[in-house]
Amino acid sequence: MLRVAFALSFGLVTATAQPTPAVPQTATQAAAQLASRTASLLPRHPTVSLELQNLSTLPAGEWSTFRSQFEAELRKAGVEIAAAASAEPRVRLTLSDSARGLLFVAEIASGDSRQIAMLPWSPPPSAEEKPRINLTKKFLWAQQEPILDVLLLDSNTEMLVLSVSKVASFRLSGGNWTLSATASLVLPRPIPRDPRGRIESTPDGFRAYLPGATCTGVFEPDLKINCAPGNETWPDAQVRWITDRNLLESDAAKAPFYTTAHGLFGGADGWGSDIAPVDDACGGTIASSATDHDNVRAYTTQAVPETDALPLPGPVTALWPAETRGEVTLVVRNAQTGEYEASRLGLACSQ
């Protein structure tokens, strides 16, 4: 006579009963419990044929881990596994998806006898790998005129903002930036469409680099700036502007490029990612999205993402290394207000 028994962790149930949802278990814990359950339905010290089948969405790697653990636990329970598939008793283990999660069904067959052990399984939530570093963002300044770059001085209490028509000096007072002086840019030729520019500190003041002009300035005792024709090489990056274009060139590159970091070169069409190197304990590169330009994230030097994307209020218009180690200057044109917003991005190591 055919004998069918449904064995669960809570005893015998009818064929129509649904297994009670399981508490989360590791593959090792589930393998030990199911092997014990299976061995209890077998004669003492049996030699069995074993067939295992994964019909679920469990990844192959986790299934392989469970399978090896299950076989090891059977052997610990005194069950030998035969090489021949025809040996009896036959143990057939299947993992499938159910309405309540994953379900193991172990069928033990010997002659006309059939016994079934069922075990619901809820693997522990996979620990999402946290980014090794996190992006931080600190707002600095917003204005209607395009911001090309920002330079912080005097322990971050003074700020120079390079725009298309001037350089503005601000002092930090009570947590707010207050305009202290402006100096107009008198350029030898017009700035190209979609203007770009770079400002860096020098021992005597600062220098601004624009396509077709290099400007030298001081801010003590008064803010002054003088521009001359020519594209000088930037000391930090060893690149220079191309006159009448918003593209860069370098002796290390065969063709013009939009931006560069750690030997990587952005597209010359101006529609690739903005990239800026970050030189600190975290290392890597910060880059804007290559498609919609409204988010940034950090990458390793092998271009592997290391942080989640940081959403922005509009497209990136500038992304430059900052004078502070481990930071970059970000300029975004806010899609709602139309203003250009300058911020500082930094990296916080999480390891």
- pLDDT tens for each residue of the chain, 351 residues long: 333 333 333 233 323 333 444 567 788 888 889 889 898 888 888 898 898 888 888 887 788 888 888 888 998 989 998 877 677 888 999 999 877 778 899 999 888 888 988 888 888 765 555 556 788 899 999 999 999 999 999 999 999 999 999 999 999 999 899 999 999 999 999 988 889 999 999 999 999 999 999 999 998 899 999 999 999 999 988 999 999 999 999 998 888 988 888 777 777 654 456 888 887 666 678 888 655 567 888 776 656 667 778 899 999 999 999 998 889 999 999 999 999 999 999 887 765
Ramachandran angles phi, psi of 12, nearest 5°: -80, 140
Same domain? 108 vs 186: no
Same domain? 98 vs 138: no
Neighbours of 83 (CB within 10 A): 6
Report the distance separating Cα 256 and Cα 48, nearest Å: 70
Give me the count of residues in the chain.
351
Same domain? 180 vs 289: yes
Same domain? 31 vs 143: no
Report the distance separating Cα 228 and Cα 289, nearest Å: 35
Q: What single DSSP character describes residue 245?
A: S
Same domain? 340 vs 233: yes
Same domain? 216 vs 84: no
Q: What single DSSP character describes residue 305?
A: B
pTM above 0.85, yes or no: no
CA atoms lying within 13 Å on the CB side of residue 202? 16
**Spatial contact of 296 and 319, defined as CB atoms under 8 Å apart:** yes
Last residue in a domain, options 64, 97, 121:
121
Same domain? 175 vs 204: yes
Report the distance separating Cα 38 and Cα 32, nearest Å: 10
Please tell me the total count of domains within the chain. Answer: 2
State the angle between helix axes of 60-76 and 27-40 in degrees (0 to 180), rounded to the nearest 10: 40
Residue 99 belongs to domain spanning: 6-121
Check residue 4 and give its pLDDT. 35
Please indicate, yes or no, if residue 104 is contained in any of the structural domains: yes
Burial class (CB in 10 A: 0-12, 13-18, 19+), 99: exposed
Torsional class of 244: left (φ above 0), alpha (ψ -120 to 50), beta (otherwise): left
Same domain? 205 vs 330: yes
Task: Quote the Cα angle for 124-21-30, to 5°.
Answer: 50
Ramachandran angles phi, psi of 39, nearest 5°: -65, -30
**Spatial contact of 42 and 79, defined as CB atoms under 8 Å apart:** yes
Same domain? 142 vs 104: no
Supply 259's token pair: 């931006």
Report the distance separating Cα 324 and Cα 280, nearest Å: 10
The pairing of beta strand 327-333 with beta strand 147-153: unpaired
Same domain? 207 vs 253: yes
Same domain? 205 vs 265: yes
